[in-house]
Structure 1
Amino acid sequence: MSSHEVPQALMVDAFRTRNSVAFGGLSRTGVVIGAAILTAEGLIATQQPLSLFVTLPLTAAGLGLAAAKRHGMSAMSYYWAKLAWKRASRVGATSYRRLFLPHPYALDLPGVGASSTLIRASDPTTGRPVGVVQDRATGWMTVTTLLAPGGSLMAPTGTVRSGLRSWSSVLDAMSTNEQIKGASVTIQITPGAGEALGDDVKARQDPDAPQLAKRLVSELVRTTPHATASVAPWMSVTVDPSASADPPVDLAEQVAEALRVADGLDLSGTGTDIQRRATDIDLRRIVRSAYDPDVFTARDADFQDLSWGECGPQAADDEWTEYAHDGGVSVSWVLREMPRRPVPYSVLLPLLAPGRYQRRITLAYRVLDPLEGEAVLEREINRAHDRARTTAETKGRAKYSQQADALRAEKAAAQAAGGAQVVDWTLMVTATTRSVADLPAARQELSRAVGATRGIRMRPAYGAQAATFAAQLPIGYNPLVKD
């Protein structure tokens, strides 16, 4: 077996994009709105027939935009988003300057992180310090766990299958716990992080070690920065403490409840090692170094006195396809479509390989409870069969792609009936450069990495660069979770 072959037992499938198309490429909402507009035009035409020469072309153009596709979304949604972004840009809403904000707001993170606040607490089980991010608008809390990456490419097939089953158990625990609103797993890869390696080696070095060993280690540290990358994975879980049978009253009880729920997710056996709960200093470091990569290797003392608002950017510009912030410029891409065929468990490996620029890869999850998941799959089956039947009635037979789509929907429902979980999830990738001049190279590198996955389709996060950037940080924002 070649090193690139993956046993059939380690293939993953049943990925599906929710499809609400009802007729002619329009969603059910689009059909209802279109029918209402046509009805209104008919009533107006009874009084002013000549008005149809103006209204009908406009309506046809609107319905055409709603039915057409642009970058995997409806053309109307795409152009409406671009119009909204241009309007926001004209009034300066896409630019952020912390220096010019009034004092109360200067203590907050910008954009989607504005309602978050950082709480320093102690783990009631271990007594160690832990950082918890609270959403002041909803009361939800996000607990982050620092992980240590574990390799599986050289592991036996049985070990990898066991890891996949263990992760399935984690998703099952999320689906049956109404307090867990969502979760995300992020891997940050920073190339050439040799300074941090030098500090770590210096702290561990035995002063009584032989001089030859010291010189050898020093030479390795000196030559390593250009050939290594720092890999920092973490998992964030968003919890609603008030959803328990006995809701906690004060803040301390809410934090304890959030930590208790997060502790209920057993990650052992999933192929990764748990380092510890992230402290408030860890969270400050992650957030601040994302906006200003130059401080990535700074010492803990440099983050200890930072307020939560100071961890964000001092200045930022949210462009249509890029995001400029303090010491860097980032481009963020989001998932457009997964392959319609089984993919190997290692499909994301090209995205996880170190490159020239810092990269963050995030999988965001919202696990549906069994009843909601069953209802979603039943709707998908009905819509798939309706589309095939409508095409068959008008063209004589359904398209092969429509028949295959109906079969995939039925297969997903069969897997859910057998105990699999239905999960809303998305993939986000961000590459950060130090200057605008490096953006073309960063985009090319990202495009090649996505292409190497052989089937995963992604696109730039048009008009949502800042929000996508923030969704990859442990600040409590998950685009799939709605209150």
Structure 2
Amino acid sequence: MTSTSQARSYGGWRRSRSAGLGKLDSRQTLTVFAAVLMPVVAGIVVSQVVALYLAPLAVLCIVAAVAQRDGVLLVDIARAWARWRWSNWRTHTAYLGHVAAPIQHGGALPGVLAPIKLIDAADPGRGRIGVIWNQRTGQVSATALLSPSGALLADVDTVNRQVAAWGALMARMADDITIRHAAITIDLLPETGTQLADHVGGRLNPAAPQLARAVMADLVAAAPRAASRVSARLTLTCDPSRGAATPVQLPEAIASLLASLNGLAVAAAGAEVVKRASATDLIRIVRTAFDPQAEGVGAGWDALRWRDAGPTYARDRRDRYDHENAYSTSWVLAEAPRQRVPHDVLLHLLSPGRFRRRVTLTVRALPRQVGASVVESEVNAAAVREEIRRRARRAPTARERADAERAASGAHEEARGAAIVHWALYVTTTVTKPEHLEEARREVLQAAGHSRLRLRPARWGQAAAFAVGLSCGVYPGDG
């Protein structure tokens, strides 16, 4: 059967912007007005000498509020730097996991993973499952290990149905008040290239014809020596106390989490659920992320505990994260594609390379009433900016017109039942030798460029960005 459907393109995402003067948002506009008025008021109330002293400070405030680097305001960069320097001075950026203790690893994980506790829970009729409990926020998370079907060989109708099912899954998340956010993680692990030969050699029948054995040997010899392993998982985080009249106990919270996870139609979106991650699976995910050399361990994972998942050493630096026997660099999405893109736009970023890579997409589907108010405020902010331009007799730029159109399109789609989603992308590459970091960085940035994404380094936040993809329910911005 030949499909007659047309391949669709996708777009419409935009950075949330409040009303402001020109290209500025409300925070920037208020900062600029305050910086301008500060010396003026001081000159009127106090003296002109004080106004002259305050003028350079006002200029610095305006520059910090307007100037950007990699899409981030200088004032936010300065704040991140100050917080990192303060933490570094207090030695909070370094972690030593009880190296002098008789146990192999420390009792807690470093950084934002410290308040997390792993619970081995039982789900009647479905076996056991590992549940992440954040003791600081009260949120609980569970992970489903996936096997993506892939869309490279799928026909257009199948791809369209899967994308529509993904949209329905986001709408399902928006309807469930207890769901806080979700993370889809793809791990790309380069292999030595001997797996194919070992796999075929262990399955050859000694009684097979010589011709068949020769053909298989030739195929193995002709196959590329470089190999890779791709794994995918979905982590769902819930806060069962949202909307509850009385405090929710932990067993009830876990039951609510499992009900929400089982209610997600992941298969329709093009990924089969292989299994739900057990406590041992989560320990292995975290441990191998910190120590890639542990990937070759074939057995013995059942004997490990949560305290064994963390590293014995970790150090959060400006542009990299040192941990155990490896070094990692992480990026955050700075700008999504401006144009409409096909469904396989992320193919290059999700294709294995020479170095270990982890790509994590975080999504937070806003509740219906919140999403409606958000798109309404976005449309109103666009209208305010248009009115300011009209009164200033300034023609809108092409980007400003496109941004206003996307805001109106989002409001129209939300009115028809679509979910409003806050999303971000995190990419981490890991090497075992520091001299390989620069080459690994170039590989990631080149792949991101082919995928029409612009990434920015997670400066002074490498440890937190690294933790986002560990299926531990870490979501930047959670209080």
TM-score normalised by the chain length of structure 2: 0.90
Shift of 1:152: 0.8
Query: 1:328-372: CA deviations, max 9, x gaps?
Result: 111111111112221111110001111000111111000011221
Counterparts of 1:239-318 in structure 2 under 5 Å?
Answer: 239-243=238-242, 250-301=249-300, 303-318=301-316
- Once residues 247 and 221 of structure 2 are traced to their aligned partners in structure 1, the CA distance between those partners, rounded to angstroms, is 52
Partner residue of 1:3? none
For the 8 Å contact 2:22–2:388, the answer to whether it is kept is: no
Shift of 1:418: 1.9
- Once residues 236 and 30 of structure 2 are traced to their aligned partners in structure 1, the CA distance between those partners, rounded to angstroms, is 38
- 1:476 matched to 2:477? The reply is no
Counterparts of 1:220-239 in structure 2 under 5 Å?
Answer: 226-239=225-238
Tell me, which stretches of 5 or more residues in structure 2 are unaligned? none
- Once residues 427 and 30 of structure 1 are traced to their aligned partners in structure 2, the CA distance between those partners, rounded to angstroms, is 25
SS in 1 for 2:170: helix
- 1:62 matched to 2:61? The reply is yes
Question: Which residue identity lines up with residue 375 of structure 1 in the other structure?
Answer: S
Query: 1:47-70: CA deviations, max 9, x gaps?
Result: 333111111220121112101111
For the 8 Å contact 1:118–1:280, the answer to whether it is kept is: yes
Shift of 1:380: 1.4
SS in 1 for 2:163: helix
Counterparts of 1:449-468 in structure 2 under 5 Å?
Answer: 449-453=447-451, 455-468=452-465
- 1:410 matched to 2:405? The reply is no
For the 8 Å contact 2:97–2:107, the answer to whether it is kept is: no
Shift of 1:420: 1.7
Question: Which residue identity lines up with residue 278 of structure 1 in the other structure?
Answer: A
Q: In terms of mean alpha carbon deviation, does 190-199 or 458-467 score higher?
A: 190-199
SS in 2 for 1:288: helix
Question: Which residue identity lines up with residue 70 of structure 1 in the other structure?
Answer: R
Question: Which residue identity lines up with residue 459 of structure 2 in the other structure?
Answer: Y
- 1:148 matched to 2:147? The reply is yes
Counterparts of 1:48-59 in structure 2 under 5 Å?
Answer: 48-59=47-58
SS in 2 for 1:296: helix
Cα 1:138–1:252 shift into 2, 3 Å: same
Counterparts of 1:2-17 in structure 2 under 5 Å?
Answer: 9-17=7-15
For the 8 Å contact 1:25–1:68, the answer to whether it is kept is: no
SS in 2 for 1:169: helix
For the 8 Å contact 1:388–1:399, the answer to whether it is kept is: no
Query: 1:144-189: CA deviations, max 9, x gaps?
Result: 0001121211111011111111111111110000011110100101
Cα 1:316–1:224 shift into 2, 3 Å: farther
Tell me, which stretches of 5 or more residues in structure 1 are unaligned? 1-6
Cα 1:439–1:461 shift into 2, 3 Å: same
Shift of 1:24: 5.2
Shift of 1:244: 6.6
- Once residues 319 and 108 of structure 1 are traced to their aligned partners in structure 2, the CA distance between those partners, rounded to angstroms, is 20
Partner residue of 2:108? 108
Partner residue of 1:121? 121
Cα 1:216–1:96 shift into 2, 3 Å: farther
SS in 1 for 2:282: helix
Partner residue of 1:394? 392
Q: How many residues align?
A: 472
SS in 1 for 2:269: coil
Q: Which runs of 4+ in 1 moved over 6 A?
A: 100-103, 195-202, 206-209, 211-225
Q: In terms of mean alpha carbon deviation, does 130-139 or 384-393 score higher?
A: 384-393
SS in 2 for 1:170: helix
- Once residues 264 and 412 of structure 2 are traced to their aligned partners in structure 1, the CA distance between those partners, rounded to angstroms, is 26
SS in 2 for 1:78: helix
Q: In terms of mean alpha carbon deviation, does 40-49 or 354-363 score higher?
A: 40-49
For the 8 Å contact 1:194–1:221, the answer to whether it is kept is: no
SS in 1 for 2:428: strand
Cα 1:374–1:40 shift into 2, 3 Å: same
Shift of 1:415: 1.6
For the 8 Å contact 1:130–1:277, the answer to whether it is kept is: yes
Partner residue of 1:4? none
Q: In terms of mean alpha carbon deviation, does 91-100 or 286-295 score higher?
A: 91-100
Partner residue of 1:337? 335
TM-score normalised by the chain length of structure 1: 0.89
- Once residues 86 and 269 of structure 2 are traced to their aligned partners in structure 1, the CA distance between those partners, rounded to angstroms, is 46
Shift of 1:439: 0.7
